[in-house]
Amino acid sequence: MPSSRLFEIVYLLLQRRRMTAAELAERFEVSVRTVYRDIDALSAAGVPVYAIPGKGGGVALMEHCVLDRAAFSEGEQRQLLTALQSLPGDARLGAEEVLAKLSGLFRRSEPDWLQVDMSRWGSAGADNAKFDAVKSAILSHRVLRFPYAGSDGQTNWRRVCPARLVFKGRAWYLQGLCLDRKDWRTFKLTRILALELLEETFAPLPPPPSIEPEGPYSGSVLPVRLRFSPAMAWRVYDEFDANCVVREPDGALSVSAALPEDAWLYGYLLSFGADLKVLEPERLCRRLGQLAKEIWQNSEKADTGCQDCCDILAASNRQEESFMNQQFCQSCGMPLSDALLGTEADGAPSPHYCKYCYQNGAFTCAMTMEEMIEFCTPMMVQANPVLTPEQAKTQMRQFFPSLLRWKK
């Protein structure tokens, strides 16, 4: 006997309280004898179902114990109540009565430990109201009309048959059939600037396609290598997969990723300000520099004097000099700490070199810069697994000539 028929019998009896065997037989297109066999099977499984003989009789469930003992396990009860509690914002308001009834039927009250608020900070519930309006449009099959701020910088009005709300990557999206584009489109809720619920309705739609297309990204993708200051760790781990991130000995974070190459990329990288250095590719670094210069020119006050610019440049030079001369060994490039300082001839700590390169006022080993690079390569690759040995050597060849020991 199909188990689905047994479950449906239980749910029908939950709704109607009592049905005759003939009604059940007609519903499932089976014989009355089969219905009674199903009732025996349910009773043997512990479902409190019984038959009432005579006129006006039929099949019924005992009161007050069906859901608690038969239809849902204790874990399933908890999952159902949690699912209702986790509805976001205004969407939960319509479920409060259902939640109260189920809590009563299950004779349990789960702690209100979970709250989902999809609104942005300071939105005063506007985001929740938008979510609830979209949900109502989906359930009532009504067309939505709204201005949408696209990633191309244009804001256009759209008429959409809404089909599905999707939460992905810390944001809500609406999937719907765009009547203007005559195709499925995905809209980020925060970019929907206003909502107009039209009287126009539409027939039920087939399920929309996956919000994330199968196969590789069809647009242009740019492999990048980025270096973030330790102050940006919170954003790096928020926005990049941990497998792409390598923490360097000095606390900086190196990221290797493939990002869409479009206007969004430049704005995104610029949002990190001076806490980001683009390592590769070079053309991306140059383009960001050009954009940063344009931003500075647009922000420069007409009466900004030369002294202001000189002060900024001098501060930048001092910061760079401090970074180069105080934080790294001026022989091998190792990040310095008090415990790693070498010693001068009088035993005083060396301000420039590590103890592995410099002791008692002399270098511990005579070697050329290229020999030092060869010596440091395995350690640099171990600390930065994303680098190949050749890439590590290239970086050191660019960096080492600025160190005191190798300056010409």
Report d(CA 251, CA 336) in Å as an integer: 12
Q: Of the ranges 2-6, 154-158, 183-187, which is most confident?
A: 183-187
CATH architecture of residue range(s) 3-71: Orthogonal Bundle (1.10)
Q: Which residues contact 294 (CB under 8 A, 6 or more apart)?
A: none
Asked whether the predicted pLDDT for residue 29 surpasses 90, the reply is no
The answer to whether the peptide bond before residue 223 is cis (omega within 30 degrees of 0) is no
Report d(CA 325, CA 216) in Å as an integer: 45
Q: Of the ranges 116-125, 174-183, 381-390, which is most confident?
A: 174-183
Higher-confidence residue: 206 or 115?
206
Rg (CA), the chain: 34
Report d(CA 67, CA 216) in Å as an integer: 47
Q: What percent of the chain has pLDDT over 90?
A: 14
Give per-residue pLDDT as tens, 224-239. 899 998 888 888 887 8
Give per-residue pLDDT as tens, 139-177. 889 999 999 987 666 788 999 999 988 887 667 889 999
Name the band, by pLDDT with cuts 50, 70 and 90, for residue 68. very low
Q: Domain residue spans in the chain?
A: 3-71, 74-106, 126-201, 223-299, 316-406
Q: What angle do CA 47, 51, 52 make, to 5 degrees?
A: 140
Q: Of the ranges 243-252, 253-262, 345-354, which is most confident?
A: 345-354
The string of DSSP letters for 49-89 reads: EEEE-STT-EEEE-TT-HIIIIIS-HHHHHHHHHHHHT--G
CATH code reported for the domain at 126-201: 2.30.30
50 φ/ψ sector (left φ>0, alpha ψ -120 to 50, else beta):
beta
Q: What percent of the chain has pLDDT over 70?
A: 70
Asked whether the predicted pLDDT for residue 292 surpasses 70, the reply is yes
Give per-residue pLDDT as tens, 43-57. 776 777 777 776 666
Asked if 343 and 360 count as a contact pair (C-beta separation under 8 A), the reply is yes
Helix ranges restricted to H, 210-270: 233-239, 263-270
**Domain 223-299: which CATH class?**
alpha beta
Q: Which two tokens stand for residue 270?
A: 């610029």
Asked if 312 and 296 count as a contact pair (C-beta separation under 8 A), the reply is no
Give per-residue pLDDT as tens, 345-371. 999 999 889 998 999 999 988 889 999
Q: Which residues contact 222 (CB under 8 A, 6 or more apart)?
A: 258, 259, 260, 261, 265, 281, 284
**pTM of the entire predicted model:** 0.42
pLDDT for 320 equals: 45
Asked whether the predicted pLDDT for residue 324 surpasses 50, the reply is no
Q: Which two tokens stand for residue 377?
A: 């390569």
Q: What are phi and psi of 271, to 5 degrees?
A: -65, -15
**Coil, helix or strand at residue 289:** helix
Q: What angle do CA 356, 360, 361 make, to 5 degrees?
A: 95
Name the band, by pLDDT with cuts 50, 70 and 90, for residue 105. low
Asked if 131 and 189 count as a contact pair (C-beta separation under 8 A), the reply is yes
Asked if 372 and 400 count as a contact pair (C-beta separation under 8 A), the reply is yes
Q: Rounded mean pLDDT of 19-30?
A: 85
pLDDT for 325 equals: 46
Q: What are phi and psi of 252, to 5 degrees?
A: -65, 160
Give per-residue pLDDT as tens, 189-234. 888 888 899 999 999 888 888 876 555 545 567 888 999 988 888 8
96 φ/ψ sector (left φ>0, alpha ψ -120 to 50, else beta):
alpha
pLDDT for 298 equals: 78
Strand partners, 320: none
Asked whether the predicted pLDDT for residue 120 surpasses 70, the reply is no
Neighbours of 397 (CB within 10 A): 12
Q: Which residues contact 130 (CB under 8 A, 6 or more apart)?
A: 189, 192, 195
pLDDT for 306 equals: 55
pLDDT for 162 equals: 93
| Range in 131-135, 259-263, 286-290 with the lowest mean pLDDT | 259-263
The residue ranges of DSSP E strands in 206-348, in sequence order, are 221-228, 245-247, 253-260, 276-280, 341-343
